């Protein structure tokens, strides 16, 4: 850390303690030693001194002990030629300054009893701007808000902004985040409180803009309020300074905004606040203290532009944004997740094989994005005729101190049910095969595409408070923009899926569940293993593991494999026990590695559906982006309607694209060597992986042996092709048993 800031804080400590010692000596000469001192209407004496040391200050004589204690805390002056870890001396100097400031304010109450007005709000008309220390009535009324979360913390603002407009901008932004604004000190004779009044704002406890006092010493009232809340509502005992300070660091998300030149007296006050875990964010180029230690993150950050002051303060303190309301015209909630938007009710749609609809979540740096910003690039729904279609790309950027790239697919998969929570909006699928249907009723209420961004921003903050600090959403509706985003998204999907390519099911004792789709398929329980990605394609085993770490009570639960019942077909006692409970008794068991014998249940979000082709002694698969006929006699939509409601359907199974080339794909039935037909677009997409898997299974020419729609769309049409190519499925044991 910087020698300069440590030097300034320590110098400030010596200066403040010496000044207050002089004021106390003068008071002792003026008043009798037994003269009562203290803050009005409180049982906490001088609360900082009482809470940290246990000393009960009731008379002028009693002020000697805490001031002597402060003098004892002052560290030696820095020797600038010798390096030292300066944080310890800085903290001691800061605490000495805070204690001295509280003595100073007690003397002010004695010497000028009318300086502060003893009420919640100032009397502006009569020039009584400063309310001073909060009494116990205010503490009981307001302090509980710091416990129940309705007031997550406070911004201690010292000094003044360059003008009233900037002051109003910063203060109102804090109000929107439910923070209190505790104001003290002046800069060149001006204060943030006077600027707020000039800007037409109301100040006082009732508007959470609290005018403590015009001097830096009055900032001690904020620390006193925090410590009293810890004692009153946290059960911390006076004198237990370690617990007091720890409580404030972990429970009261406060910080200092220094607006104006930071001299030695401000410096020691800022250093004192660090003891509480409260960092300082300044608008002037003072030396920074960036390494973590006492505060959650940085201790002093500067210079920060005024338009960035609020967001940077929230970020540095680790305060999580609380979004109470979701401002969209439609009703919102889990009750609407299972709603269908049928043809007669449909206004417009995207995806579902009709247009491209892609979703991507990416991690961003804190400075790259703006929290709450919703961008629409392209036309909105008002440019679409009833019954029309449009392309859509949903790109979400998330920044967070605790956010990791591993969390991207977990957040991405939330888009499915969060959009479904919007009344009369239907969402199916994920990644680059999403399908959204928007009802006429939603349009009549005023629904726009930006409302999707509003929902994602609010719910990501609400549901993932620990890891999310900022969310920005961009919605693309121009075809070229959606195609460009889709190409980027597919690159990301491939990188994510590749993370589990070297893992085997035998390597782990834990599989994971996914029940996100039970709103549409109540009995469906997807089980994800290293060699069987979720049938939606959005989650692999590592994704589910990360999702469980984020949300231990969420839809991705660990499943103990337990006893192996059938190694060939992939049936495990632990999995059976789990799915029986999770399906509410509707499904007793299923096999991981078979589509012929009791396969896994399937929901409508699957990327592909495989079906048995008995005449070819093999299987086919079809992805949802292929709309043509298939050799099993059913299109994808028909297959999904028949067995996509959460049933286990022998001869059929839903799966992801990636799963086709994983080691355990229907291995109990012969594996990929049974694959005799797939759409050309899917086959080409997976070409490299099919070639590699075929070589691994001893059939290097497998890719060229698989038929597609250019060969035929019936078993009779493709069988001669398979015979000509010598497809291995024709020589395997009968698939029908």
Do the strands 435-439 and 346-351 form a parallel or antiparallel pair, or are they unpaired? antiparallel
The answer regarding whether domain 505-731 maps to CATH 3.40.50.11540 reads: no
- What's the mean pLDDT in 4-15? 84
The answer regarding whether domain 1-319 maps to CATH 3.40.50.2030 reads: yes
pLDDT digits 0-9 by tens, 477-499: 999 999 999 999 999 998 888 77
In angstroms, what CA-CA distances link 148 with 143, 144, 153, 245, 289?
9, 6, 11, 19, 32
- What's the mean pLDDT in 523-544? 87
Looking at residue 152, its pLDDT comes to: 81
User: 90 versus 532: which is more confidently predicted?
Assistant: 532
State which H helix or E strand residue 566 sits in. strand 564-566
Q: How confident is the model at residue 324 (pLDDT cuts 50, 70, 90)?
A: low
Cα angle 388, 394, 395 (rounded to 5 degrees) comes to 155
The whole model's pTM is what?
A: 0.61
Share of the chain above pLDDT 70, in %: 96
d(CA 312, CA 367): 9
The answer regarding whether domain 334-498 maps to CATH 3.30.1650.10 reads: yes
Q: How confident is the model at residue 287 (pLDDT cuts 50, 70, 90)?
A: confident
Residues of the chain within CATH 3.40.50.2030 domain(s) are 1-319
pLDDT digits 0-9 by tens, 637-692: 888 877 767 778 899 999 999 999 999 999 999 999 999 999 999 999 899 899 99
- What's the mean pLDDT in 196-215? 93
- Asked if the model's pLDDT at residue 78 lies above 50, the reply is yes
d(CA 444, CA 329): 10
Mean confidence (pLDDT) of the chain: 90
- What's the mean pLDDT in 108-132? 93
Do the strands 425-428 and 374-377 form a parallel or antiparallel pair, or are they unpaired? unpaired
Q: How confident is the model at residue 717 (pLDDT cuts 50, 70, 90)?
A: very high
pLDDT digits 0-9 by tens, 336-362: 776 788 889 999 999 988 899 999 999
Q: How confident is the model at residue 584 (pLDDT cuts 50, 70, 90)?
A: confident
Instruction: For residue 115, give both structure tokens.
Output: 């300086």
- What's the mean pLDDT in 95-114? 96
Looking at residue 322, its pLDDT comes to: 62
Q: Which residues of 611-650 are buried (b: 16+ CB within 10 A; e: fewer)?
A: bbbeebbbbbbbbbbbeeebbbebbbeebbeebbbbbbbe
- Asked if the model's pLDDT at residue 323 lies above 50, the reply is yes
Write a three-state SS string for 464-478.
CCCCCCEEEEEEECC
Residues of the chain within CATH 3.30.1650.10 domain(s) are 334-498
Burial class for 333, CB neighbours closer than 10 Å (0-12, 13-18, 19+): exposed
Looking at residue 661, its pLDDT comes to: 94
d(CA 55, CA 65): 8
Q: Among 177-186, 600-609, 676-685, 695-704, which is the least confidently predicted range?
A: 600-609
Q: How confident is the model at residue 1 (pLDDT cuts 50, 70, 90)?
A: very low
Q: How confident is the model at residue 392 (pLDDT cuts 50, 70, 90)?
A: very high
Residues of the chain within CATH 3.40.1470.10 domain(s) are 505-731
- What's the mean pLDDT in 408-420? 88
DSSP code per residue over 166-221: HHHHHHHHHHHTT-EEEEE--BTTB-HHHHHHHTT---BGGGTEEEEESSGGGGHH
């Amino acid at each position: 850390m910087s020698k300069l800031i440590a030097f300034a804080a320590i110098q400030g400590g010596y200066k403040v303690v010496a000044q207050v010692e002089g004021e106390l000596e003068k008071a002792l000469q003026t008043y009798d030693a037994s003269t009562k001192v203290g803050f009005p209407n409180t049982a906490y004496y001088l609360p900082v001194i009482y809470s940290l040391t246990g000393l009960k200050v009731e008379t002028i004589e009693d002020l000697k002990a805490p001031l002597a204690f402060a003098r004892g805390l002052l560290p030696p002056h820095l020797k600038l030629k010798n390096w030292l870890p300066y944080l310890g001396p800085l903290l001691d100097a800061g605490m000495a300054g805070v204690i001295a400031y509280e003595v100073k304010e007690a003397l002010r109450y004695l010497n000028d009893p009318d300086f502060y007005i003893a009420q919640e709000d100032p009397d502006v008309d009569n020039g009584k701007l400063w309310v001073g220390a909060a009494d116990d009535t205010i503490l009981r009324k307001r302090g509980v808000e710091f416990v129940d979360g309705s007031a997550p913390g406070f911004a201690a603002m010292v000094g003044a902004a360059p003008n009233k407009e900037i002051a109003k901008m910063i203060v109102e932004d804090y109000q929107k985040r439910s923070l209190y604004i505790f104001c003290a000190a002046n800069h060149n004779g001006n204060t943030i409180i006077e600027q707020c009044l000039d800007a037409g704002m109301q100040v006082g406890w009732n508007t959470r803009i609290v005018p403590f006092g015009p001097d830096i010493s009055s900032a001690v009232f904020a620390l006193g309020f925090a410590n009293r809340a810890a004692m009153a509502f946290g059960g911390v005992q006076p004198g237990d300074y370690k617990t007091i300070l720890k409580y404030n660091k972990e429970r009261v998300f406060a910080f200092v905004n220094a607006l104006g030149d930071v001299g030695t007296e401000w410096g020691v006050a800022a250093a004192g606040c660090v003891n509480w875990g409260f960092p300082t964010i300044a608008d002037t180029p003072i030396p920074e203290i960036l390494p973590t230690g006492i505060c959650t993150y940085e201790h002093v950050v500067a210079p920060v532009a005024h338009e960035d002051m609020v967001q940077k303060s929230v970020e540095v303190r680790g305060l999580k944004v609380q979004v109470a309301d979701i401002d969209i015209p439609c009703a919102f909630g889990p009750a609407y997740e299972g709603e269908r938007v049928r043809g007669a009710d449909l206004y417009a749609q995207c995806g579902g094989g009709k247009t491209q609809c892609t979703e991507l979540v990416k991690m961003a740096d804190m400075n790259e994005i703006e929290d709450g910003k919703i961008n629409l690039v392209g036309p909105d729904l008002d440019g679409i005729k009833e019954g029309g279609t449009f392309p859509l790309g949903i790109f979400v950027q998330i920044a967070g101190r605790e956010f990791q790239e591993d969390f991207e697919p977990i957040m991405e998969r939330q888009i499915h049910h969060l959009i479904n929570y919007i009344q009369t909006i239907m969402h199916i699928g994920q990644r680059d095969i999403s399908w959204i249907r928007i009802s006429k009723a939603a349009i009549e209420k005023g629904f726009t595409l930006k409302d999707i961004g509003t929902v994602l921003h609010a719910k990501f903050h609400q549901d993932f408070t620990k890891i999310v600090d900022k969310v920005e959403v961009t919605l693309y509706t121009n075809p070229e923009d959606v195609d460009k985003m889709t190409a980027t998204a597919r690159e990301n999907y491939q990188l994510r899926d590749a993370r589990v390519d070297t893992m085997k099911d035998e390597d782990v004792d834990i599989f994971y569940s996914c029940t996100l789709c039970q709103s549409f398929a109540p009995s469906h329980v997807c089980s994800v293993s290293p060699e069987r990605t979720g049938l939606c394609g959005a989650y692999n085993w590592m994704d589910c593991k990360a999702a469980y770490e984020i949300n231990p009570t969420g839809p991705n639960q660990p499943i103990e494999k337990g006893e192996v019942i059938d190694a060939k077909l992939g049936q495990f006692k632990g999995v059976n026990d789990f799915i029986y409970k999770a399906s509410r008794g509707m499904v007793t068991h299923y096999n991981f590695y078979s589509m012929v014998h009791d396969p896994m249940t399937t929901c409508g979000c699957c990327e592909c559906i495989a079906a048995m082709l008995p005449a070819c002694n093999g299987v086919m698969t079809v992805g949802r982006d292929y709309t043509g006929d298939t050799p099993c006699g059913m299109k994808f939509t028909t297959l999904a309607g028949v067995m996509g409601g959460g049933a286990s359907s022998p001869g059929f199974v839903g799966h992801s694209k990636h799963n086709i080339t994983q080691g355990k794909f229907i291995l109990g039935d012969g594996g990929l060597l049974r694959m005799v037909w797939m759409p050309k677009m899917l086959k080409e997409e997976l070409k490299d992986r099919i070639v590699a898997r075929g070589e691994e299974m001893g059939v290097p020419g497998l890719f060229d042996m698989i038929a597609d729609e250019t060969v035929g769309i019936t078993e009779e049409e493709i069988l001669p092709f398979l015979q000509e190519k010598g497809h291995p499925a024709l020589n395997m044991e009968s698939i029908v048993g």
